[in-house]
Amino acid sequence: MIRLKKCPLILVIGLALLTITSSNLLAQSSKTGSLEDLSFLSGQWRGEFSGGPIDGGWTSPMGDNIVGYLRMMKDGKATLYEIFAFEQTENGPVARVKHFKPGMISLEEMEVSDTYRFIEAGKNTALFEKNDGSVRILYELRKKNQLVFQKGLLENGTWVYKDLFIFKKLS
């Protein structure tokens, strides 16, 4: 048993600081995130994908959601639509995504959507992981007018990210 009378004052102060720092780190690591962490997505964006344009749009956070879309085109025709919502939950934002072929033919079952859970956010970045753990998506505002999605796959126990979409801001 340590007696405080015999402990040097510096040790007592060090233990107190360690306790405070540990509590602060624990509080930070349990941050669940909010839709405000995704506000950098807001606006209209355009990029290139598989030889054709890809357009994307995101609303600003309002209430408990952000909604948006992606439209992929080739040779002047739509090849894929993606409709999604980021919804605020007690565990942070959740991304729900549905994919459609032209004609609004759903690629998922009517009651099913791809779901991605929030992992973490930083300044102009947000990381989500698909519920089955197979893929991660990193959203990153690299420059004021450049938005990048990176797809992460687990390789030899490490997440490896590659650019999936690179957008320029339209409005």
Query: What pLDDT tens digit does each residue of the chain (171 aa) get?
Result: 444 455 444 433 333 433 333 333 333 334 689 999 999 999 999 999 988 999 999 999 999 999 999 999 999 999 999 999 999 999 899 999 999 999 999 999 988 899 999 999 999 999 999 999 999 999 999 999 999 999 999 999 999 999 999 999 998
Q: Is residue 24 part of a domain?
A: no
Confidence (pTM): 0.79
Q: Is residue 144 part of a domain?
A: yes
Q: Is residue 10 part of a domain?
A: no
Number of domains in the chain: 1
Q: Is residue 6 part of a domain?
A: no
C-alpha distances (whole Å) from 105 to each of 14, 74, 101, 143 are: 63, 18, 5, 35
Q: Is residue 147 part of a domain?
A: yes
Task: List the Cα angle 15/20/26 in 5-degree steps.
Answer: 125
Q: Is residue 13 part of a domain?
A: no
- Assign residue 143 the CATH number of its domain: 2.40.128.20
